[in-house]
Amino acid sequence: MPNSRTAGETAMSEQGPHEITKASAWKDFLALIKIGIVNSNMITAFAGLWLAFYFSGQSFLASLDTVVFALVGSALVMAGSCAVNNYYDRDIDPIMERTKNRPTVTGKYEPNQALWIGIFLIVLGMAALLMTTMMAAFIGAIGVFSYVFLYTMWSKRRYTINTVIGSIPGAVPPLIGWTAVDPHITVQAMVLFMIMFIWQPPHFLALAMKRVEEYRAANIPMLPVVRGFAMTKRQMMVWVACLLPLPFYLYDLGIGFLILATVLNVGWIALALSGFKIKDDLVWAKWMFIYSLNYLTILFVSMILFTIV
């Protein structure tokens, strides 16, 4: 008789229980620290660091210790803050489809365990940032405070402006990277911060539209829940339009970057405008969300590439 076992079953049988347990534990840890958020923020942190080297005329290769401490510190600070967020939100996470399998919900991590892991990672990350500059550590502390206290504990469950407040910690990574190299916050550094700050409301409001019923069930006052889709779309349009002039402050990156950034911005504005005519708001929100992810990745990666070519 032919073997009817699937490839997955074969692979599982070839792994011992110890290996399976270790793999599961690692997966749970990555979920606890929200590895997707950490990874995306590391792109912007590295871009800030790289551009600080470029604009200050310092050597990247001669400062690899700074690079390592800055990136490791940034990652740990973000990871720790996300773990604390998971600890605090464990009462509402079971209600929402996208968060119901977090390890603080399933019991893979006890609440106090998640909290202390988060605190430990934050302290470790701050120590690493202190190995670069005091300013980088200070900016990192602002990120932790704004995400854990201003967003998670204060505004998220109270005000529709929670998305804007949550944009502060999300805009901090490129500043951490920059100030790890150059403690002076220049115009270019502030532009990186503002791009990230303004990018986040339309990105997360698109997600809030897609998940509006889940947020309503969890009693989270996201803008689409409180004010409806029409108001949300108008605000998203304004935020996207505000991105248009920012790349021109980075004119030293060259005409190629300015053209690419402008095309990305105009494309997003056009997509935002289409939301006032489209009949299916949820389909439109999905495309706004997808566009925002690609926008951020392409824009920040291109900032690095245009300093090389």
Report pLDDT digits (tens) over 109-120. Answer: 999 999 999 999
Q: To 5 degrees, how large is the angle CA 103–CA 105–CA 110? A: 70
Domains of the chain: 26-305 (1.10.600)
| 57 token code pair | 């005329």
Which residue in this structure is represented by tokens 């439109």?
284
Alpha-carbon distance 300 to 192, whole Å?
A: 9
CA–CA separation, 167 vs 146, rounded Å?
Answer: 9
pLDDT, tens digit (0-9, with 9 covering 90-100), for 1-41: 444 444 444 444 455 666 667 778 889 999 999 999 999 99
Q: What rounded mean pLDDT belongs to the chain? A: 92
> Tell me, what's the pLDDT at 21?
73
Nearest of 35, 41, 45, 47 to residue 299 by alpha carbon: 47
Distances in whole angstroms, Cα of residue 218 to Cα of each of 33, 98, 107, 165, 259: 22, 12, 20, 19, 42
Question: How far apart are the C-alpha atoms of 250 and 307, rounded to whole Å?
Answer: 11
> In the predicted model, what is the mean pLDDT of residues 187-214?
97
How many C-beta neighbours within 10 Å does residue 186 have?
14
Q: What is the mean pLDDT of residues 238-261?
A: 97
Q: What pLDDT does 16 receive?
A: 61
Q: In the prediction, which pLDDT does 309 show? A: 77
In this prediction, residue 267 carries a pLDDT of 98
Catalogue the long-range contacts made by 207-211 (C-beta closer than 8 Å, 24 or more residues apart).
207/285, 207/289, 208/163, 208/232, 209/281, 209/282, 209/285, 210/282, 210/285, 210/286, 210/289, 211/96, 211/97, 211/98
- So what's the pLDDT on residue 25? 87
Q: Which residue has the higher pLDDT, 63 or 3?
A: 63
Question: pLDDT digits over 84-130, tens only?
Answer: 999 999 999 999 888 888 999 999 999 999 999 999 999 999 999 99
Instruction: Average the pLDDT over 48-76 and give the result.
Output: 95
Give CA–CA dist 175/257, Å, rounded: 20
> How far apart, in whole angstroms, are the C-alpha atoms of residue 166 and residue 155?
9
